[in-house]
Amino acid sequence: MALLKRNFFIVITISVNFLIGSGVVTVQGLGVEREDEVDNAYSDGDTLNVYVIPHSHMDVGWVYTVKESMHAYAANVYTTVIAELGRNPARRFIAVEQEFFRLWWDGVATEKQKSQTRKFVSNGQLEFIIGGQVMHDEAVTELSAIIQQMTEGHAFIYETFGVRPRFGWHVDPFGATAATPTLFALMGFNAHLTSRINYDQKAAMMKAKGLQFVWQASPSLGSSQSMFTHVMDTYSYCAPMEHPPFSNRSAYMWNGVAKFPDPPADGIYPNMSDPVTTQNMGQYADFMVANIRKRAAWFKTPHLLWPWGCDKQFFNATDQYENMERLLVHINQQRSKYNIKIRQATLGQFFTALHNSDTTWDVKNSGDFIPYSTAREEAWTGFYTSRIELKGIARASQATLRAGETLFSLYTHLFNISRTINTTSALEKIKKLRWATAEVQHHDGVTGTEAPVVRDMYISHLRDGSQATISVLTDILNELTQVNARETEHHNERYNVLGLKSEISEGKSTLTYAVYNSLGWTVRRLVRIEVNSPNVTVLDARGQPVISQVNPPSNGSQLYQLYFFATIPPIGYQIFVLLFINENQRLLQSQCPTVRSYGAATEDAGGMDEGEGRGDSEGDEISIENECYKISFDRSTNALSSITNKQNGKTTTMSAGFLEYHVFHDVLYGQTSNNYVFRPYGPATVIGSVRTQLNVSTGVLVNETTQHFYGLFDVESRYSVTMRLINDASGHPDKLSCSHIEVDFKVGPLSMNKELVYRFSTLLKSNGNLYADVNAFQTMNRSRRHGATIAQNFYPMVSSAYIEDASNDERLMLLSERSHGVSSQSDGDIEVMLHRRVVNNEFETHNYNLTLEEPSVATSTFWLLLGNASTTSELRHRSWLQLENPPVAVQLGSGWSSVKEVNWSALQSRRFHSAIANVLPKNIHLLTFKTPGWNYNVSAKTSQSTGGSPLNLSRILLRLQHLYEVGEHPILSRNVTVDLQMILSPLGMIKTVDERSLTGIWNITQMNRWKWRRADEGRSQSPDMSISNTITHAEPTTTLTTTTEPTTTTAPAPTTTATPPSFTYTLQPQEIKTFFVIMNAPTE
């Protein structure tokens, strides 16, 4: 993926650019550190064992679409590699990202090639590494999406070949987070490899021979989920790019560089390395050995990994293998000269050698490698926000996938219904979205670092997959409710997540909706549906009126916003009827809010400077409030002035406003701000605005304010922010609706080369501390680093971030439904980057369209929590999960002409179904509830001989996640014991439960991860919980039966008198447990 750009030192300082992929990688000395920084002398007395690892870095996107890459080079990689592996059993290759391999396997490979591939996987010549659909980004990806894309790839590999990936190879993601080693440990990995860490950290680690260590990244899970980690040296994942002394081309790239759009007809590619001949053999070998010895000095054992490959390599594997083999044979024959043993190897062979060396390794038990910088002014923190619209679509699609997966599992496992939907066809539609959501997690996908044509590819795939999944949702809900004849056309136009446009057929006065909840708890949420008339009321399934509110059109829309509350069971739905009435039927009509507008002349978009107030509000402030909060604005400026938490009576003085960073954009002045890098000229400045307007709307359910900011020539506001409070007078015990402030932004188009943030400023004594989530899995203190640049103090916020005043026990927290960059540049401040518009000349020489110049409008939603540490910790996780996975509203049928036609008794009898009981505690999240369809290698030989096994719809893949870390909350951070039978009781009786690894491919007792010798052994460590190798549920008193693998807990036959088995399991803080569950058939 990377463009190499960096100053290097010979006698004078000059600059050189190297193209090897996407991004800007900084290296020194043509890819090596300066001589005064790293010792490059390795003792001639030591015999080096060198493992040359052939690979091709194949970006699923970046500059070219998947289709373009398959045509230009990717298909040829596997076709030629498989052919060449058969010519020499000493040859090796590692296959990393599965998307291109699966496309080749399904659409290109012949049966002979498939048979050969199975042979090479079996004998170890071909090794699957990572095994995910893609090499996912680590900074801006969310937990469930990471697990989904890894499961997608692992399931294919296990189903097709009966093998399981055991090693990580994250060579290109832009920084390394603490979540990755823990999740890879839970997947059964033995070791992990990463590369892109901060330039100064890598230099120090190389000098200290500290590039290899045991990473204990989770304080909660302890040493059992630690991961041996290898950080690649400064050459990263590519073979060295230097020119050998006898050539003006790079070495080791004998097939050249891939050519787009078509492979050259004559087979001659750019930059083909000079072949290895008898004439240059000695010089080639000396050149390679010099590099080997230089790199060996940076590691503590005589085992050296030497990656051979780079971006888009091995499309002509014949030239690659033949030339390298001549070189390796020569080096091995010259043992007395070089004292090196060198061979082709897989990553597993290299890590096996390290593990068998019985070396004692240092332990890293705090922090991670975020953010990533390649130089002081090259902080890769811009991509946390790049292409913010793609980030939103990716996360919304993930929520749609969850809704489709959970509802499909409900439908296929309910035992008291008659099914008419083709479940095989329905699952194939859901699989389209599985593929698309996995694909976009690529490190040049959701990051926003791809070209526009590739962005459009991701969006197209996500929308196609979402539409297919929506059609499944609509079909299932229509069948389960049987409101009227199921319609097969125009499903997708009547669907949305918490926001749906109603379509009234001519002559119809009522519409029916199912509101579906994909979470594992009962939720009470405010549903929003767009309607074309304010004369509407909402009825529940019994025909009783539901309190509702209709807000007038806004933001240029012609549609009204209808709001009403729905209490929805876990993995279940409720039915509502919309009755459109005439203006004389006031008894049932939804209530309309009171709307007022206030204008003020200002000089900035924060409303900080005073201006003349206009409006009819009494006193010096304008405010809205609900049971939990009061939000106050200064009447003279329309600016936010304070927020009062009515639960504890504390008022927090607060201002907020839009600011912008003006950024570097011309290489004449050094590093530019681009898709990856954020480089501002200086501190952010308040955006100039000549006029602000504050609209205040107060109603029975929703109170909100919207601030509009206008420039001198703006007809419509360029920036707006809405703050919304929700009123729930039902007395429902769950206060989530009341306990947050919704904050909606609509910004843009931005001026060129400006990056927009919204900053909340308070008097909280935060002492330089900012706390941000890591992949929505754990929280880290991202303390402000003094002496660092502005950009180096930005961090990714995937789900949440907060500042706090520990002395006053006060915390300001933001929850987000997509990833953003977040920072605290001063005590008491927290700012979020909302949008970027940058155009630069950095990539012009490569003819890559890697800019963010489109004049787009961006929208984002946040939930703001304000309170003490205990309360915000209690609310945080469930609130974010509700923000991330809102209820789905689906219009059923086409409606009735009159309310008299509604069959209320039928609606009431079918008003809800639920897949699970409402028994999950607040700290346990139903992370996954899906019917994967894979057989998971019930018989790999059967799958191979028959061309694939039929879909298995009986097995439920269920994951439970303990949401809290150790010490996060005084009560909710405790161990929790759950009973799977009680949870799944609406589906009947459990037949078998099989505890699995995180991606499902290992039985938990068979995983047996390697144990690495640690430098801290014998010392006090964090709690050591043997999650990977020990089943922690109570042992059943009946027999444990074995099907294809051991430890499957099976219920006894109905005729037995034995005590029923126990399906209780205990989850410790931050633990995720994965199960295969099979339910008894109704007759069993």
Q: Whole-angstrom Cα distance, residue 369 to residue 596?
A: 49
Give me the count of residues in the chain: 1084
List all residues 6 or more positions away from 506 whose beta carbon is below 8 Å from its beta carbon.
Answer: none
Q: Checking DSSP bridges between strand 363-364 and strand 212-215, what pairing results, if any?
A: parallel
Q: Whole-angstrom Cα distance, residue 101 to residue 885?
A: 32
List all residues 6 or more positions away from 188 whose beta carbon is below 8 Å from its beta carbon.
Answer: 164, 166, 997, 998, 999, 1001, 1002, 1007, 1009, 1028
Structure tokens at 450: 């791809």
One-letter amino acid identity for 202?
K
Tell me, yes or no, if 172 is annotated catalytic. yes
DSSP for 456-474 reads: HHHHHHHHHHHHHHHHHHH
Q: Whole-angstrom Cα distance, residue 227 to residue 747?
A: 42
List all residues 6 or more positions away from 865 whose beta carbon is below 8 Å from its beta carbon.
Answer: 739, 740, 741, 802, 811, 812, 813, 814, 815, 872, 875, 876, 879
Q: Whole-angstrom Cα distance, residue 39 to residue 171?
A: 24
Structure tokens at 667: 């290489």
Backbone φ and ψ of 73, nearest 5°:
-155, -35
Query: What does the angle CA 290 – CA 196 – CA 837 come to, to the nearest 5 degrees?
Result: 130
Q: Whole-angstrom Cα distance, residue 581 to residue 429?
A: 38
Of all helices (H) and strands (E), which one includes residue 865?
A: strand 858-867
Q: Are 413 and 915 in contact (CB under 8 A)?
A: yes
Query: What does the angle CA 468 – CA 469 – CA 474 come to, to the nearest 5 degrees?
Result: 100
3-state SS, residue 427: helix
Q: Whole-angstrom Cα distance, residue 647 to residue 739?
A: 9
Q: Are 561 and 527 in contact (CB under 8 A)?
A: no
Q: Whole-angstrom Cα distance, residue 569 to residue 912?
A: 8
DSSP for 551-584 reads: EPP-TT---EEEEEEEEE-TTEEEEEEEEE--TT
Backbone φ and ψ of 664, nearest 5°:
-65, 140
Q: Whole-angstrom Cα distance, residue 824 to residue 814?
A: 13
Q: Whole-angstrom Cα distance, residue 1066 to residue 979?
A: 9
List all residues 6 or more positions away from 286 whose beta carbon is below 8 Å from its beta carbon.
Answer: none
Rg, the chain, Cα only: 30
For 878, other C-beta atoms within 10 Å of its C-beta total 18
Nearest alpha-carbon partner for 502 in 557, 544, 559, 463: 559
The one catalytic residue among 172, 368, 604, 634:
172
Q: Whole-angstrom Cα distance, residue 812 to residue 801?
A: 9
Residue 935 CA, distance from chain mean position = 26
Q: Whole-angstrom Cα distance, residue 660 to residue 749?
A: 13
DSSP for 11-66 reads: SSEEEEEEEESSSEE--STTTS--TTTS-----TTSPEEEEEEE--B--SSTTS-H
Residue 965 CA, distance from chain mean position = 20
Structure tokens at 481: 């409710």
Residues annotated as catalytic (active site), given as ranges: 172
